[in-house]
Amino acid sequence: MDLFEYQGKKFFAAYDIPVSPGEAVETVDHAVAVAEEIGYPVVVKAQVLVGGRGKAGGIKLADDADSVREHAGNILGMDIKGHTVELLWIEKASDIAEEYYASFTLDRSAKLHLGMLSARGGVDIEQVAAEEPDAIARIHVDPVDGLTADAAAAWVDAANLNPAARDGAIDILIKLYRAYVDGDADLVEINPLILTPDGRVHALDAKVTLDVNARYRHDNWDAYEATQVLDPREREAKEKGLNYIGLDGTVGIIGNGAGLVMSTLDVVNQVGGSAANFLDVGGGAGADLLANAIEVVNNDDNVKAILVNIFGGITRGDEVATGIVEAMGRVELRSPIVVRLDGTNAEEGREILAASPNEKLMSEPTMLDAARRAVEIANA
């Protein structure tokens, strides 16, 4: 679950990481009122779940009420990379001497936490990584040991920050690691982490992704959840109790078992197609669940072909086929549906499918054949 900057800053503040005072507002008048209270200069910041807001014109400094009025008016309603700005964060402006980058995330291949720190902050970190990989100091942190003060100090030294930032940076990085671990985040990123002319180190931006598997441990995540902008396809799937993740390709995928569905995505990719979604109907899926799954995938405008890949174990092929045929009666199929059915009662299932008069329904004997056919239709 991704947090907006204003939520990320609240999250950081709870772990004692210094951030600027500010307030989230929805209107120009409220923006001006907050600015008057904070005192000038202030920064008017678009709250959208996408980076590069500064370059897109979504972040402006303002010295007086008129300028807040102007910038807030321009930024509210602005489109930033497909996200409409509905909320602003108004905060006390900071003086910047230097801009750094700091983050923690999980390095799955090393099975350790990964910290990244760079004196080249403020800009796109992917760009720094590509052009100047040595400008990023990396540290692996063993979750059992945690981040010790000595390790943090050596890390800061390796990043060649201004000596004036050394103590402040060490302090913030230790707190950031605590926020990342105790706060159950998958990612915490501060870009820029700034050094002010008077020697303070301070988080000027906040990017936080929380690990929803830890949801049960955090009552205070209600507020974050309330502001989540769900993909409409994902919302519909959730209401129907389906395990669905929206993607941006053209082949709708339905399968049973997460592993099989992931392999199906790979095979579709391998034969030159792209998946519109991940949808796992799970083990023992009956006719009704299948019909619901087809309905959700069929509602996706990008889908040009649907690929149903079922291997019957507990799930019975005849039940699956019945579900598919039932779905044909319930939904008006926008695109053809290619079914690969194998395992328990597959024969009976295929007979049920073959008996359907619906021309959009077709069946293939193997996963590869089915993927090829679906992709051929989708790419036509």
Which residues are the active-site residues? 101, 189
300 binds ligand GDP (CB under 6 A): no
Choose among ligand GDP, Mn ion, none what residue 94 binds, the Cβ cut-off being 5 to 8 Å by kind: ligand GDP
208 binds ligand GDP (CB under 6 A): no
Three-class DSSP category at 17: coil
Q: What is the DSSP string of 44-96?
A: EEE--SSS-TTTTT-EEEESSHHHHHHHHHHHTT-EETTEE---EEEEE----
Q: Which of residues 205-244 bind Mn ion (CB under 5 A)?
A: 205
Q: Is 191 in the site for Mn ion (CB under 5 A)?
A: yes
> Do residues 342 and 310 lie in contact, with contact meaning Cβ atoms separated by under 8 Å?
yes
Place of tokens 């291949």: 109
Runs of H (alpha helix) within the chain = 5-13, 28-38, 65-75, 125-131, 149-158, 166-182, 222-226, 232-239, 258-270, 287-298, 317-330, 346-354, 367-379
Q: Is position 51 an interface residue for ligand GDP (rule: CB under 6 A)?
A: yes
Paired with 80 in beta bridges are 83
What's the angle, vertex CA 132, arms to CA 127 and CA 133, rounded to 5?
Answer: 95
For Mn ion, the closer of residues 191 and 256 by Cβ is 191
| Contacts of 87 by beta carbon, 8 Å cutoff, 6+ apart | 4, 6, 24, 25, 26, 47
- Buried/exposed 208-239: b ≥16 CB within 10 Å, e otherwise: bbbeeeeeeeeeebeebeebeeeeebbebbee
Scanning the structure block, which residue is given the tokens 């024969």?
A: 347
Assess 122 for contact with ligand GDP (CB under 6 A): yes
Q: Specify the stretch interacting with ligand GDP by CB under 6 A; choose among 30-38, 53-61, 140-148, 323-331.
A: 53-61
Contact status: 54 vs ligand GDP (CB under 6 A): yes
| Cβ distance to ligand GDP smaller for residue 60 or 350 | 60
Answer whether the bond into residue 232 is a cis peptide, omega within 30°. Answer: no
Question: Counting contacts by CB under 6 A, is residue 52 touching ligand GDP?
Answer: yes
Cβ atoms 242, 279 nearer than 8 A = yes
Residue 212 interface partner, choices Mn ion, ligand GDP, none, CB cut-off 5-8 Å depending on type: none
Contact partner at residue 292 from ligand GDP, Mn ion, none, CB < 5 to 8 Å by partner kind: none
Site track 162-201 with ligand GDP (rule: CB under 6 A), x = hit: -----------------------------xx---------
Asked if residue 128 binds ligand GDP (CB under 6 A), the reply is no
CB 2 within 8 A of CB 209: yes
Measured from the CB of residue 60, what is the shortest distance to ligand GDP in angstroms?
9
- 205 binding ligand GDP? (CB under 6 A): yes
Q: Is 93 in the site for ligand GDP (CB under 6 A)?
A: yes
Min dist CB 48 to ligand GDP, Å, is 8
Residue 101: CB minimum distance to Mn ion, A: 9
Q: How far is the CB of 267 from ligand GDP (least distance, A)?
A: 37
Quick check: 96 binds ligand GDP (CB under 6 A)? yes
Shortest distance in whole angstroms from residue 118 CB to ligand GDP: 13
Give yes or no for a contact between 42 and 93, defined as CB atoms under 8 angstroms apart. yes
Please tell me the count of residues contacting ligand GDP according to CB under 6 A.
16
Question: Which span sits near Mn ion by CB under 5 A: 94-102, 109-117, 185-193, 227-235?
Answer: 185-193
Query: Under the rule (CB under 6 A), what is the footprint of ligand GDP?
Result: 43, 51-54, 59, 61, 93-94, 96, 99, 122, 191-192, 204-205
Query: Under the rule (CB under 5 A), what is the footprint of Mn ion?
Result: 191, 205
